[in-house]
Amino acid sequence: MKRREATQLLLASAVASRASLASAAPSVSASLPDVAVVGAGSFGAWTAHALRRQGHRVTLIDAYGPGNSRATSGDESRIIRMSYGSKGVYTGWAKESLVEWQRLSERSRQPVFENTGALAIGARGGEYLLSSEKFMRQEGIRFEWLDHAEIARRYPQFGLAPEEIGLYEPDSGALRARRGIQLLVAELQASGTAYRNERIRPPAPGAGRLDAIVTESGEKISAGAYVFACGPWLARLFPDLLGGALRTPRAEVYYFGSAAGDPQFKAGHFPAWFDVASPSMDAYGVPDLDERGMKIGTDAYDEPTDPDAQERTPTPKYLEATRAYMKKRFPRFAGAPVLEARVCQYENTPTENYLLDRHPRIDNLWLAGGGSGHGFKNGPAVGRYVADLLRGEQANPLFTFAALHAPAKA
């Protein structure tokens, strides 16, 4: 985003109250290294935010722009939920992150976070729901168990089998994804973070320290430290480290329209939801925000794709898979028309844990990626964690290169 565009966004959205900008702009410390953060998706933008808060001078660089339509953070919405099955570390991170998304909403006076509630649907006694309960209890997160009859009473939109129940989080909901990232980057720019719209070339696979990164046009950008938060592009930038370990399957999500005057799928009438009735997550959805329609995504896709060049045109076979799912879960809605669709891609690690680690051979370079279909919400905690790593704090083994292929134990 050019500085002028950023300023316009700030003005248009009434973000720039003097007080909020002052609080977002701590003074830069001469003793801390300048940091270049490559990638302005959820991981990179929040890393820039955390580094800036700690007093670093930061340059944020993105090839296509914050929240662009190729980026994994570029859709209209993402769910923020605290239930994470046995991966309890993310329950804590989601709790921490929710506060930051709420603060961004308050500072920008824009509803980046929409408190729709979040409902996990699964089989009674299922391991995912029980583990989620355990970790939410530990974190002091509010939740309610809803039995089949109670879900049918509150949300008759769902078609459920008698043995299916729900774990409801009243304080969770949905994030306006693209908008949130653009507001955050605009805020960063307004508070002194430099932003560049450039593509960075893959760093030479040497060892020691990196002196500079190089733009596609050949310009060098020097900093004391570098963070590459390039989502599905990371494997191309670091093929020696990540080739084969980071998969980028294509995904399609659809926005379906209700009948005229029918509010049943709008925020306030319907929660963000995800379906864990089968061992892996089957599908998830976001209520109708901003009159775009109710969003549904299913996790049935596995074709690797090219985030630069893939056509973002929805394909019949994915729509058929989504409609087949709707017949089961939303029988009365199964014929609803598609209003919009987004074609995206994941950046999955084998363990579905994030990769947040120092480059094994380059001392002043860190990688942040591997969001694995659940990273957006946790951008604020990821940013804080990466900034702590740069300060020398100890790494959690879960997010290291060494753990990329290890069995998940979060």
According to CB under 6 A, which residues from 17 to 76 bind ligand FAD? 38-44, 61-64, 68, 71-73
**∠ CA 229-83-286, rounded to 5°:** 75
Report long-range pairs for 8-13 (Cβ below 8 Å, ≥24 apart): 9/182, 9/183, 9/186, 10/186, 10/187, 10/190, 13/108, 13/109, 13/110, 13/183
Total of residues contacting ligand FAD (CB under 6 A): 39
According to CB under 6 A, which residues from 183 to 202 bind ligand FAD? 199-200
- To ligand FAD, the closest distance from the beta carbon of 207 in angstroms equals 21
- To ligand FAD, the closest distance from the beta carbon of 87 in angstroms equals 13
For residue 313, the one-letter residue type is T
- To ligand FAD, the closest distance from the beta carbon of 155 in angstroms equals 18
Residue 156 is encoded by which pair of tokens? 């008759």
**Is residue 294 near ligand FAD by the rule CB under 6 A?**
no
- To ligand FAD, the closest distance from the beta carbon of 283 in angstroms equals 11
According to CB under 6 A, which residues from 248 to 287 bind ligand FAD? 251, 253, 284
According to CB under 6 A, which residues from 94 to 153 bind ligand FAD? none
**Do residues 118 and 142 make contact, with C-beta atoms less than 8 angstroms apart?**
no
Q: For residues 20 and 176, which CB has a smaller minimum distance to ligand FAD in the complex? A: 176
- To ligand FAD, the closest distance from the beta carbon of 30 in angstroms equals 27
C-alpha span between 388 and 107 (Å, rounded): 24
Q: How does DSSP assign 95-119, residue by residue?
A: HHHHHHHHHHHHHHTS-SEE---EE
- To ligand FAD, the closest distance from the beta carbon of 291 in angstroms equals 20
User: Could you tell me which stretch among 9-17, 24-32, 152-160, 372-380 binds ligand FAD (CB under 6 A)?
Assistant: 372-380
Q: For residues 368 and 390, which CB has a smaller minimum distance to ligand FAD in the complex? A: 368
Q: For residues 257 and 380, which CB has a smaller minimum distance to ligand FAD in the complex? A: 380
- To ligand FAD, the closest distance from the beta carbon of 377 in angstroms equals 3
Secondary structure (3-state) at 5: helix
Q: Which of 400, 386, 395 is nearest to 51 (CA)?
A: 386
- To ligand FAD, the closest distance from the beta carbon of 382 in angstroms equals 8
- To ligand FAD, the closest distance from the beta carbon of 181 in angstroms equals 8
**Do residues 65 and 231 make contact, with C-beta atoms less than 8 angstroms apart?**
no
Report long-range pairs for 235-240 (Cβ below 8 Å, ≥24 apart): 235/347, 236/202, 237/200, 237/202, 237/203, 238/202, 238/205, 238/359, 238/367, 239/202, 240/205
Q: For residues 325 and 346, which CB has a smaller minimum distance to ligand FAD in the complex? A: 346
User: Could you tell me which stretch among 48-56, 106-114, 343-351, 392-400 binds ligand FAD (CB under 6 A)?
Assistant: 343-351
- Phi, psi (degrees; rounded to nearest 5) at 200: -95, 135
Q: Which of 35, 121, 221, 230 binds ligand FAD (CB under 6 A)?
A: 230
Q: Which of 36, 79, 121, 167 binds ligand FAD (CB under 6 A)?
A: 79
**Is residue 221 near ligand FAD by the rule CB under 6 A?**
no
Q: Which of 52, 179, 329, 377 binds ligand FAD (CB under 6 A)?
A: 377
Q: How far is residue 223 from each of residues 37, 54, 64, 186, 226, measured CA to CA in Å?
A: 10, 16, 21, 22, 7
C-alpha span between 301 and 318 (Å, rounded): 8
Q: Which of 42, 145, 73, 151 is nearest to 380 (CA)?
A: 42
> What residues line the site for ligand FAD (CB under 6 A)?
38-44, 61-64, 68, 71-73, 78-79, 199-200, 229-233, 237, 251, 253, 284, 297, 344-346, 369, 371, 373-377
